[in-house]
Amino acid sequence: MTPHASTPTAVDDHTRRRAPRPPRRRLRRLAAGAVLVLGLVVALPSCRAGARWNVLRMTPTTSELDTASLGDEVEEDPMDSVMADPNLVWNCSAEGLDPELVTALRAAAAAWVAENGQPLVINSGARTLRRQAELMADMTQAQLEGMYCRQGYPSYISAILRARRQNRGSLGADGTYAILCERASGYISSHLCGAAVDVSPSGCDVGRLRALLETHGFTTLDERNLGVNCLHATYRDAPRLIVRE
C-alpha cells in the first residue's frame, strides 16, 4: 500500500504564515549605521578640501602666530625716533634727557638743517655722577674753575684741587667721585639731570648756531676757550635736580 504524502495541516500553514522577523530594534540600529556611513562618505571629501583651503582649520596657522607675536612685541620706543632723526647726529645716547629739551632740540635741528643743510652733532647728553667724575678728573684746574666757578667757588672744586695737591698733582675718577658724593654744595651740572647737551661747533657759524639755540629755549656757553670743542646748551625750562650718587 502506497503511503500517502503528508497533507499540510492547519498548524503548518499557521507556522509558515508567522515566520520569525528580525526585531525592530536591530533594524533601527542597522538604519542608523547606514546613515552614519553615508554621512562620512559625503563629508570626508569636503573636509579634505576645506583643510586644503584652510577653511575648516581649528588652530591658527604659523603665519598667524608670527603676526600675533609680532603685534605683541612691536612697541615703539620714543628714543628710537629721536636717535633716528635725520637732523641730528648722536655721538652719545639720548636716554635720560628731559622730554621738553628733546622736543626743543629737534625743532632747533630742523631749523638749522633748513638753513644750512647740515645736521646738528650732539657729543654729550645726560650723565651719571660717576661719569661726571671721570670727566672732571681729566680736567685742568683752569677748566674746572672756568666751567664750575662762574657763579662762585663751590666747595667740591676746592676739595678736588686740595686732594690733587696732596696726591702729587693727580686725583683719579674714584677719588673725584667720592668728593662729589660727599659735597656740601649741591649743584654741579645740568647734564646730571638731563637738562643740557653739548653741541659740536665744528664747521658751523657758531654765532648763528648760538642765536638759533637761544630762540628755542637754550642758554649756551662756548667752551672752546677752555680747550673743549663744544657748545654747552642748557634748556632753560628743564627742572634742576641735585644728584648725589
Q: How many CA atoms lie within 13 A of 174 on its CB side?
A: 0
pLDDT for residue 186: 79
pLDDT tens per residue across span 50-76: 444 444 444 455 444 454 455 555 666
Residues 6+ apart with CB under 8 A from 147: 139, 223, 226
CB 132 within 8 A of CB 192: yes
- 107-125 burial by CB neighbour count: b if 16+ within 10 A, else e? ebbbbbbeeeeebbbbbbb
Q: What is the pLDDT tens value at each position of the chain, 245 positions in all?
A: 444 444 444 444 444 455 555 555 555 666 556 555 555 544 545 545 444 444 444 445 544 445 445 555 566 677 889 999 999 999 999 999 999 999 999 999 999 999 999 999 999 999 999 999 999 999 999 999 999 998 899 999 999 999 999 999 999 999 999 999 998 877 899 999 999 999 999 999 999 999 999 999 999 999 999 999 999 999 999 988 888 77
CB 119 within 8 A of CB 89: yes
- How far is residue 216's CA from residue 103's CA, in Å, rounded to a whole number? 10
- State the pTM of this model: 0.68
pLDDT for residue 39: 55
pLDDT for residue 25: 58
What are the CA-CA distances from residue 73 to residues 79, 84, 148 (Å)? 16, 20, 45
Residues, the chain: 245
pLDDT tens per residue across span 138-180: 999 999 999 999 889 999 999 999 999 999 999 999 999 999 9
Q: Which amino acid is at 129?
A: L
Backbone angles phi and psi of 196, in degrees to 5:
-150, 155
Fold of 78-235: Muramoyl-pentapeptide Carboxypeptidase; domain 2 (3.30.1380)
pLDDT for residue 218: 98
